[in-house]
Amino acid sequence: MPETTTWESILILITALGVIIWMFPSIKASLARSKQVESDWNSLVIPISLVIMLVIFLIMLV
């Protein structure tokens, strides 16, 4: 795979900064709203635990 040239690196950097600046207001608003909402850890813990149990089950089958 060929290396990126200097102008390509600069173009990637400018694009990344543009996306960050474009999305910053919505990210800031989302963070402000998330501080006001009650946390619901069950919606995270249950699927992760199910995936872990499935992986352990599949490992035991081998």
Delimit the domains of the chain by residue range: 1-37
Block residue for tokens 């207001």: 25
pLDDT band at residue 53, thresholds of 50, 70 and 90?
very high
- How many angstroms separate the CA atoms of 10 and 22, rounded? 18
Tens of pLDDT, residues 22-41: 999 998 998 888 888 888 88
- pTM exceeds cut of 0.75: no
> 34-54: string of b/e by CB count within 10 Å (b at 16+)?
eeeeeeeeeeeeeeeeeeeee
CA distances from 22 to 9, 13, 14, 27, 37 (A): 20, 14, 12, 10, 25
Q: What percent of the chain has pLDDT over 90?
A: 61
- How many angstroms separate the CA atoms of 46 and 61, rounded? 23
